[in-house]
Amino acid sequence: MNDREAIEAAFFAAGSAIDALTLARLLNKPKKQVITVVRGLIADYAGRESGIEILDLGERYVMQVKPAYADIVRPFAPKELSAPMLRTLSMIAYHQPLVQSDLIDQRGNSAYDHIRELKERGLVEAVPHGRTKLLRTTPLFADYFGLESNDPEVIKQKIVELSRQQSGQSGLNKWLGRRFVGVTPMYESLMGMCGIRDYRVINAYDPTEEELEDLADIYKLVISRGYRERVSKYYDGEIIEVGSTTFGDLIEAMKALENISDPEKVKESTELIEDLEERYVSKALVFSKKVKPATEMVARIVKDLRLGVSAEGVVIAPDYGLSAGGVNVSEGADILVPTHRSLDGTLTERVCSKYDAILTGLKNIQG
């Protein structure tokens, strides 16, 4: 029997990490000799065009799909841990050995089901502790998350390290299974502008029970500027606030997501927006009448169009009527600018509609 082929077959069949000693016993060969064979196999896989790789976890080895192909093959993979179950597992991993009754106090009775399945999967073990149990992770947990050791301190260090990366929570969330960017419906087109595919559209402002579960799968959440406090009641991950009043807002929104975006797609989208902005500025040059913005939002659009401003100018206001302070900002306006309440379409189309409303209004007034 060829040692190299036998080891490769063992890696394929195992579905989890195998240590060098186990391989040595399997082949009835010295451990040192087996390690040499494994290193050659690792180098062979690294040098070929393959979607599979073999990782060295410190004399423990695992064959796995390369990260670049993980999303493609996910539909064919065994059922993943749910987001709520991953949260339960993360608490056990960080605080282990963790008293089961303490975990139930924090996670609720649903954690009993989580513990049962985690035990069935071999990721957690429970040891009797008085009238309750002590929970801790198993070596299979280390294999599952690509760690070199199941030592509690090593695991805790890894969690702390990841929680410090990418604005605090997102690195940890990715490791624990939150794989999607969340986005409110109005900003779905922003995902296309950035070339982001792994996203979920979700109502983050007033989520249902089902939507709360969806939030648990998300490691970044894109919302409208000014809603952070409201959303943070339901979501503990990274929140990115963006605006969509002007073309400049759209460019800033893409910059806020640049670390997870497709650079080529962002470049293409940015050039398109900058070209649109130049065209609107050129159209606005023909108007000599000065304007009077009724709100800060309108003032930003007026500035973008480089229109002249005067206290006696044409009054331009948003169409939403009453402001948060109870003032009717739309009353008496010469030109009304449509806002998100009355607009549909992509973010770019919405911005164009606002600019068009002002230029059309000025054209009608100037004659």
Give CA–CA dist 162/237, Å, rounded: 13
Burial track 72-110 (b if 16+ CB lie within 10 A, e otherwise): eeeeeeeeebebbbbbbbbbbbbbbbbebeebbeebeee
H-helix or E-strand containing 285? none
- Looking at residue 168, its pLDDT comes to 42
| Any domain includes 278 | no
Domain endpoint, select from 119, 140, 168: 168
Rounded CA separation 89/111 (Å): 10
Distance from C-alpha of 203 to C-alpha of 125, rounded to nearest angstrom: 37
Residues 56 and 95 in one domain: no
**Whether residue 187 sits in one domain with residue 124:** no
| Residues sharing a CB contact under 8 Å with residue 50, sequence separation 6 or more, in sequence order | 66
Q: What is the pLDDT of residue 166?
A: 43
Kindly give the residue spans of alpha helices, DSSP state H, lying in the chain: 3-14, 20-27, 31-47, 70-73, 83-95, 100-107, 110-120, 139-144, 152-164, 169-176, 188-194, 209-215, 228-231, 247-256, 263-284, 296-305, 347-366
Read off the CATH number of the domain in which 258 is found.
Answer: 3.40.50.1980
**Integer Cα distance of 299 and 318 in angstroms:** 11
274 has a pLDDT exceeding 50:
yes
Q: What percent of the chain has pLDDT over 90?
A: 32
Is residue 275 situated within a structural domain?
no
For the chain, the domain total comes to: 4
Question: Do residues 154 and 183 both lie within one domain?
Answer: no
Q: Is residue 38 located within the same domain as residue 88?
A: no
Query: Which residue segment(s) compose the domain that 94 sits in?
Result: 83-168
Same domain, 160 and 196: no
Strand partners, 137: 124
Q: Does 357 share its domain with 290?
A: yes
Please give the average per-residue pLDDT across 303-310, as a whole number: 93
Do both 107 and 59 map to the same domain? no
Within a domain: residue 155? yes
Q: Does residue 78 fall inside a structural domain?
A: no
SS3 181: strand
pTM as predicted: 0.55
The strands making up 18-19's β-sheet, listed across from edge to edge, are 18-19, 60-65, 52-56
Q: Specify whether the backbone of 192 is left (phi greater than 0), alpha (psi in -120 to 50) or beta.
A: alpha
Is 100 domain-assigned? Answer: yes
Q: What is the pLDDT of residue 322?
A: 64
**32 shares its domain with 52:** yes
pLDDT at 1 over 90: no
- The verdict on residue 337 lying in a domain is yes
Q: Which of 68-77, 89-98, 196-205 has the lowest mean pLDDT?
A: 68-77
Q: Is 42 part of a structural domain of the chain? A: yes
Both 113 and 162 in one domain: the answer is yes
Residues 6 or more apart in contact with residue 121 via CB below 8 angstroms: 81, 140
pLDDT in tens, 27-84: 899 999 999 999 999 999 888 888 888 888 778 888 888 877 766 765 555 556 666 6
The verdict on 109 and 139 lying in the same domain is yes
Same domain, 57 and 114: no
Do 53 and 88 belong together in one domain? no
Domain edge (last residue) among 168, 198, 216: 168
pLDDT for 328 = 75
Mean pLDDT is highest, among 67-76, 162-171, 282-291, 340-349, for 282-291
Query: Of 168, 192, 227, which residue is a domain's last?
Result: 168
**Residue 131, domain CATH:** 1.10.10.10
Chain-centre distance for alpha carbon 279? 34
Query: Would you say residue 219 lies in a domain?
Result: yes
The answer, yes or no, to whether residue 323 has pLDDT greater than 50, is: yes
